[in-house]
Amino acid sequence: MRKASLFSGIGGIDLAAKWANMTTVAFCEIEPFCQRVLRKHWPGVPIIEDVRDVTREELIRIGIGAIDIISAGYPCQPFSYAGKRRGAEDDRHLWPEVKRILSE
């Protein structure tokens, strides 16, 4: 199975996917430190920095064909009891982007 990874962090979900014989073909991660870790462990796998830029057209442009599965380590801070719980008013509320990508 070929998968795309959203909000990849340092690739924990992707490592588990590798153990399950899945191939991560694209990452989406905004944090520079996490990007460095991903590049070290998955050299050559493209990283799209902003989830808002993940589109079918962009994936085709960078040479990614069919994808079987999408994983998303969706940021929970907008809804966390440990935070300000601004919900949809928080800039980190990116669930609508996940929904858009899944719909595509």
Q: Which two tokens stand for residue 42?
A: 């998955």
Q: Kindly report, residue by residue over 2-49, the tens digit of the pLDDT.
A: 999 999 999 999 999 999 999 999 999 999 999 999 999 999 999 999
Q: Give the model's pLDDT for residue 89.
A: 60
Q: What are phi and psi of 79, to 5 degrees?
A: -120, 0
How many whole angstroms separate alpha carbon 88 and alpha carbon 4?
25
Annotated active-site residue 34? The verdict is no
* DSSP 8-state symbol, 49: S
Q: Give the model's pLDDT for residue 96.
A: 82
Residue in 93, 72, 70, 81 with CA at minimum distance from that of residue 29: 72
Marked catalytic residue, from 60, 76, 84, 92: 76
